[in-house]
A and B are shown apart, each in its own frame.
Chain A
Amino acid sequence: MSVLFYIGALLIVIGGICDLFGALGLLKFPNFYVRLHAATVGTIGGAVVPLFGVALLALGADFLPHRYAIAGASFITGIIVLLAAPAGAHALAYAAHKAKLVEWKPKVDHLKEVRE
C-alpha cells in the first residue's frame, strides 16, 4: 500500500461528496442556470475526480492484476469526460439563453448580443 493508494481513495471520497452536493443542488436551486452549475459539479467533481482517483488507486495497489490497464483506462475516460462535460453544459446554457426559455434577472449579461 503506497501513498498513491490513499490519495486515490481520498479522491474517490471527494467525488462522492461532490455527487451528493450536485444532487442536492439539482433539487434545491431556483432556476435552470444555477441548476446546470450543480449538474456540472456532479459530472466534473463526481465523475472526473473519482476516475482520476481510481487511476491512482490502481497504480498504488500492488496486489491488483492488470493494474496499469485499469489506471490507463480510468485516466483516459476521466480526460474525455473532462473535455465533454463543460462543452455539453455550455451548449445547454447557450440554447436556453438563445431560446429565451428561462426567465432570469442577471447582474451581467455577456451573451447579450446572442439574444438579438
Chain B
Amino acid sequence: MKRWIALIFLLIAVIMLAYIFQVPQPENIKPLGEFYLENSYFGDYSAKSPEVVTSILWDYRGIDTLFETAVFFLAIIGSLTIFRLTKEQEKEVKKEPTQVESLPLPIRTVTKVIVVMILAVSASIALHGHLTPGGGFQGGSALAVAPLLIIAAYSKYALEEHGLDKTRALILRSIGLLGIALVALVPLLSGGFIMQNQPIFPAEIGGQLISGSLIYYNLFEFLAVGAGFTAVFLLLSIPEEKFKKILGVKK
C-alpha cells in the first residue's frame, strides 16, 4: 500500500511539474535555425540535401562529428588492445576444434535469409543517408548485426573460413577512416576550409542527387563502423577455454 501511495504521489508531482513548467511555444524560427535552413538546403553553397540534419552534422558541425567518430574508434582500439595476441596465439585462436556443434537446421536457414536482408537494409540506410533519416553510423551498426548473427547461428570459425577474419575487418575499418580523413582534407587543396562541402564536391552526378561530400562521408563511416564492430565481435566470440589456455590459467 505504501508503494502505491508513493507511486501516485510521484505521478501527481510529474503531472503538476509538467503543467507548471510548460515549454513555451515558439512563435517564429530562431535566427540560427533560419540561417541553417536557408544555407543548408536552399543556399548556393549548400549540399542540396533534403535531410538537413545530416548536412548540418557533417558541414556546419563537421569537426564535432569528426571527434565523435574518433571517440568510437578509440573505444574499438581500446578493446583490440585488451585482447591483443601474439602471432602463435592468433593461430591457436583461429584453429577450429575438431567438432563444432551448430544450431538446428531451421535456425541456420532463417539466419541465412535474415543476414542477406540485413546487408541490403544496412546498405540502404547508409547510402540514403543524405535523403532520409539515418546515415553512416546507423547503417554501420545495422551491418554489424549480420556477422553477429552468423557467429551466433554457426560459429566464429564459419566467418573466418569465408575470409572475414579480424585482420581483414581491421583493414576495412582503416580504409573507412582514411576515406573520412581524405574527404575532410580535400577542400583544403582547392582553397576551401576543412570539411567544407560546396562547391568543391558536386551536388549531383548524372542527375542523381548525391549531396556533395555527404554520400562519401556516409559510405566511409558505414564501412568503418561496420568493420570495427565486426572486429570486436570476432574477439569477443573467442572461446573462454582458449583464452584460459593462452593465459595459463590453472583450473
Q: Which residues of A contact B (CB under 8 A)?
A: 80, 83-84, 86-87, 90-91, 94
Contacts and interface: CB of A to CB of B under 8 A. Distances in A.
Interface string B131-174: 00000000000000000000011000000000000000000000
Nearest to B113: A83
Nearest to B153: A91
B82 interface: no
Q: How large is the interface on B (under 10, 10 to 19, 20 to 34, 35 or more residues)?
A: 10 to 19
A84 B153 CA distance: 12
6 contacts: A80-B117, A83-B114, A86-B106, A86-B110, A91-B152, A94-B104
Contact of A91 (B107, B113, B114, B117): B107
A74 B35 CA distance: 38
B105 to A, nearest CB: 10
Q: Which of B110, B111, B114, B117 has the most CB of A within 10 A?
A: B110
Dominant secondary structure at the B interface:
helix
Contacts, number: 23
Interface of B: 103-104, 106-107, 110-111, 113-114, 117, 152-153
A40 B107 CA distance: 15
A87 B107 contact: yes
Given A86-B110, A91-B103, 18 more contacts: A80-B114, A80-B117, A83-B110, A83-B113, A83-B114, A84-B110, A84-B114, A86-B106, A87-B106, A87-B110, A87-B111, A90-B104, A90-B106, A90-B107, A91-B107, A94-B103, A94-B104, A94-B107
B121 to A, nearest CB: 10
Contacts of B152: 91
Contacts of A80: 114, 117
